[in-house]
Amino acid sequence: MQFVFASNNKNKILELQSMLPESITILSLESIGCFEDIPETADTIEGNAIQKANYVTEKFGYDCFADDTGLEVDALNGDPGVFSARYAGEQRNADDNMNKLLEALVVQNERKAQFKTVIALNLKGKQYLFTGIAKGEITLEKIGNQGFGYDPIFQPEGFLQTFAQLSLDVKNKISHRGKATQQLIIFLKETE
């Protein structure tokens, strides 16, 4: 089984491919000749995932899945949420985003947060959604050098380490993306 994963984020592609069974191959946007930036203009995480999956299916004709992820911080009324990648500006710089978030929380005792990933799958003319949530809290400083995005400041529930300190195997089992991907894998196995 072969799908396009609507992303050019090499870290995300590697993380996802490592979770999928060998019978499922991921094609990147680059490998199908899609070099344009796919619009992400929806006002929800679900909406962005759907928008990206539909773009690839409509323009290139492939079965496709796309994800969108947001970090939702309780003390910030769910921000940065759908704007997580661009929280500190259009340059989409992870360090800038983390610094802005840590600054916004400097006077906050409440640091609860959750990562939310939604995967939209377009398969044989139908669309399916899978959602994964990882609850935790925002640390006081960046810790660890694994992973990407906000991983160095997110400590998942039940762990003393941040996502950026955990091995990929452990992170894949407990992360938002891991949970959504597991639902996707179960679904794909049932439809094989």
Does the annotation place 11 within a ligand binding site?
yes
Instruction: Give bridge partners of residue 173 from the DSSP assignment.
Output: none
For the beta carbon of residue 135, count every other beta carbon within 10 angstroms.
14
Strand boundaries in the chain, DSSP class E: 2-5, 25-27, 64-73, 80-81, 112-123, 126-138, 154-156
Per the annotation, does 79 bind a ligand? no
Give per-residue burial for 14-39: e unless 16+ CB within 10 Å, then b.
Answer: ebbeebbeeebebbbbeebebeeebe
Q: Is 171 annotated as a binding residue?
A: yes
- CA distances in angstroms from 77 to 64, 90, 104, 106, listed in the order given: 32, 22, 12, 16
177 is in an annotated binding site: yes
Residue 9 assigned ligand-binding role: yes
124 is in an annotated binding site: no
| DSSP symbol at 164 | G
Ligand-binding annotation for 10, yes or no, is yes
How far apart are alpha carbons 152 and 148 in whole angstroms? 8
43 labeled part of a ligand binding site: no
Q: Which amino acids are annotated catalytic?
A: 68
Number of other CB atoms surrounding residue 74 within 10 Å: 14
Annotation-wise, does 122 bind a ligand?
no
**Cβ pair 64, 125 in contact under 8 A:** no
Question: Would the annotation count 52 as a binding residue?
Answer: no
- Annotated binding residue at 142? no
Binding residues for Mg(2+) are 68
Binding residues are 7-12, 68-69, 148-151, 171, 176-177
Binding residues for substrate are 7-12, 69, 148-151, 171, 176-177
